[in-house]
Homo-oligomer: A and B are copies of this chain.
Amino acid sequence: MKAYNELSKKELQSLKKELEAEYEKVKEMGLKLDMSRGKPGKDQLDLSLPLLDALTSDSSFQCEAGVDVRNYGVLDGIPEIKRIISDLMGTTPDHMIVYGNSSLNIMYDTIARSEVFGVMGSTPWCKLDEPVKFLCPVPGYDRHFAITELFGIEMINIPMDENGPDMDMVERLVASDAQIKGIWCVPQYSNPAGICYSDEVVLRMANLQPAAEDFRIFWDNAYAIHHLYDDAKTILNIVEACEKSGHPDMYYEFCSTSKVTFPGAGVAAIIASPANIAEIKKQMTIQTIGHDKINQLRHAQYFKNADGVREHMKKQAALLRPKFEAVLSTLDQELSGLNVGSWVRPVGGYFISFMALPGCAKRIVALCKEAGVVMTGAGATYPYGKDPQDANIRIAPTFPSREELEKACRVFVLCVKLASVEKLLEE
């Protein structure tokens, strides 16, 4: 098949007719498929079922802090779960607070605390005359952008390549503008591009010279252990990098077991310097008496140690790998050589990112929807929902069954073809 941009107008018109006929047939099938959100599949949830039997009425409830986990006490997480998470994340328990079920909630809290109380003695952001700004590597995670938008924080797009954000731009901006207080990063298997930040990017990140003393790197390491293949490459450790660079307080790292055990019923943590941790605890001790220690102990007893989690993640990978490969192979087979888009081949995480021809993303998502396939809204991967190129589409292959996924992919590539032909005919 020739590349679409090399086809004559006549060829495009005839192709369009074919594709439209095919599309009408698909619509008649009345599909109801969803590739919109990064939700685990039922098989993944079943994998974690034994967790629910790890703590029952005849268990011992004494945690290593000498406290009955069924009662009040222990603000920052029981020692057992802190040890497991800090081993996995390559840090130490004194760098960690374990929270409830949601790392997104910790990020929201971290922004809210900075807005109302400031950061280590800085002016509360809500008291500043000028709006606070955040750097947003794009495409990125819509829920990050929703938090900063809610607080009226101005978001600045930072382009990404296969090594991570454009660090020349990041360095220049943070050094010159004291209103820039943070940068959103998903450094390992980024959402949605699946990119792992290169060592150089992580080191340059840790060596930033921000004009704002209360600048922080918001390091959402959501997919730190979510490798699809055994020979996983992990990114440099931000804690060590920031300590070595002489900026030990410059990052907040976030993680959770939402995509390890159960979304909404796992445990989440913040990793930060002991000075940041002390600052956070001052507010947290007023905010809550403590998080769900029974669930923390349940997780600790089930996994026993970091290796227990790693073994579990291999089983998760075995379920996810074929789904990612199915999407990629459909894209390869159906779209390679057509010059109608590009895609990355992530080796972990939860998403595949598709770059359509400029101006086609919204149309593709709309066509998919009309044919019964829900995709993440076009634009969602950019601040304010505005993709300047209208090109990026996030594919979430985890939730549908393998069979549904294959159907949904067929619809997706058909819609990509149709929208691309429409676009080329406009030009």
Interface residues of A (CB under 8 A from B): 37, 39-40, 42, 45, 48-50, 52-53, 55-57, 59, 61, 68-73, 100-102, 104-105, 108, 112, 115-117, 124, 126-127, 143, 146-147, 150-151, 262-265, 283, 286-295
Contacts of A112 in B (CB 8 A): 112, 116
A265 to B104, CA, bound (A): 20
From known contacts A53-B57, A287-B108, infer whether A294 and B262 are also in contact, taking CB-CB under 8 Å.
yes
Contacts of A143 in B (CB 8 A): 286, 289
User: Are B53 and A68 in contact (CB-based, < 8 A)?
Assistant: no
User: Are A101 and B50 in contact (CB-based, < 8 A)?
Assistant: no
Which of A108, A143, A265 has the most chain B CB atoms inside 10 A of its CB? A265
User: Are A262 and B126 in contact (CB-based, < 8 A)?
Assistant: no
Which of B52, B100, B146, B263 interacts with A57 by CB under 8 Å? B52
Which of B68, B69, B117, B294 interacts with A42 by CB under 8 Å? B68
A3 to B143, CA, bound (A): 67
Which of B61, B115, B292 interacts with A101 by CB under 8 Å? B292
Contacts of A57 in B (CB 8 A): 49-50, 52-53
Contacts of A150 in B (CB 8 A): 117, 283, 286
- How far in angstroms is the closest Cβ of chain B from A81? 14
The 4 closest A-B pairs by CB, nearest first: A49-B57, A265-B294, A45-B70, A105-B288
- For this complex, 10 residue pairs linking A to B, each with C-beta atoms less than 8 Å apart, are A39-B72, A72-B263, A73-B264, A100-B292, A112-B116, A115-B116, A147-B287, A262-B294, A264-B289, A264-B293
Residue of B nearest to A113 (CB): B112
User: Are B100 and A101 in contact (CB-based, < 8 A)?
Assistant: yes
Contacts of A101 in B (CB 8 A): 100, 291-292
Contacts of A290 in B (CB 8 A): 102, 264
Which of B40, B50, B56, B292 interacts with A264 by CB under 8 Å? B292
Contacts of A283 in B (CB 8 A): 150
Residue of B nearest to A117 (CB): B150
A101 to B25, CA, bound (A): 50
- How far in angstroms is the closest Cβ of chain B from A63? 12
Contacts of A59 in B (CB 8 A): 52
A353 to B291, CA, bound (A): 28
A286 to B147, CA, bound (A): 6
User: Are B292 and A146 in contact (CB-based, < 8 A)?
Assistant: no
User: Are A72 and B37 in contact (CB-based, < 8 A)?
Assistant: yes
Contacts of A61 in B (CB 8 A): 45
Contacts of A151 in B (CB 8 A): 116
User: Are A146 and B286 in contact (CB-based, < 8 A)?
Assistant: yes
Contacts of A294 in B (CB 8 A): 52, 262, 264-265
Contacts of A52 in B (CB 8 A): 55-57, 59, 294
User: Are A264 and B45 in contact (CB-based, < 8 A)?
Assistant: no
- How far in angstroms is the closest Cβ of chain B from A149? 8
From known contacts A50-B57, A70-B265, A265-B292, infer whether A116 and B126 are also in contact, taking CB-CB under 8 Å.
yes
- How far in angstroms is the closest Cβ of chain B from A53? 5
Contacts of A116 in B (CB 8 A): 112, 115-116, 126, 151
From known contacts A56-B52, A57-B50, infer whether A264 and B291 are also in contact, taking CB-CB under 8 Å.
yes
